[in-house]
Chains A and B, each alone.
Chain A
């Protein structure tokens, strides 16, 4: 299984974001130099049914992409939460996964006291799980 490294503070911030938005789904980017997660970018879920689905605010995404362009960074992963189902891509998630470069990170709050965090690659409808490695310090 391929590894997917997330600095521990970023992993914690992502879970905190999911808890803060509960029962709505949260969403955001993990960004950094190609292939390396350095920071979290929180995005607002503007889907009309935010408990069941997510759609990131396009204006916030534009701002994030402009910032990444200036820093020569990229979207290393796209994350969102599931508040009532496991941390595994739903059929909708698979259908909407258009970026073969990015990992898809899921935070499940099915059990709110025990958040689950998993990462995947989704290529042409195929789901491949990545082994999440969370480290105290960014490399």
Chain B
């Protein structure tokens, strides 16, 4: 069974404008796609 887990998502400098400058944000999901959807 896949379980969603909390992960640290490290932002490349070029994408930090979407995280108010944060170097890393917390994400959640059981696949990379789910983590990206969570962040969006």
Contacts and interface: CB of A to CB of B under 8 A. Distances in A.
Interface of A: 34, 65-66, 69, 72, 74, 99-101
A65 B12 CA distance: 8
Interface in B1-39: 10, 12-14, 23-24
Contacts, number: 14
Interface residues of B, number: 6
10 contacts: A65-B12, A66-B10, A69-B24, A72-B23, A74-B12, A74-B13, A99-B14, A100-B14, A101-B13, A101-B14
Contacts of A99: 14
Nearest 7 A/B pairs, CB to CB: A74-B13, A101-B14, A69-B10, A99-B14, A101-B13, A34-B13, A69-B23
A74 B24 CA distance: 15
Given A65-B10, A74-B13, A100-B14, 7 more contacts: A34-B13, A65-B12, A69-B10, A69-B23, A69-B24, A72-B23, A101-B14
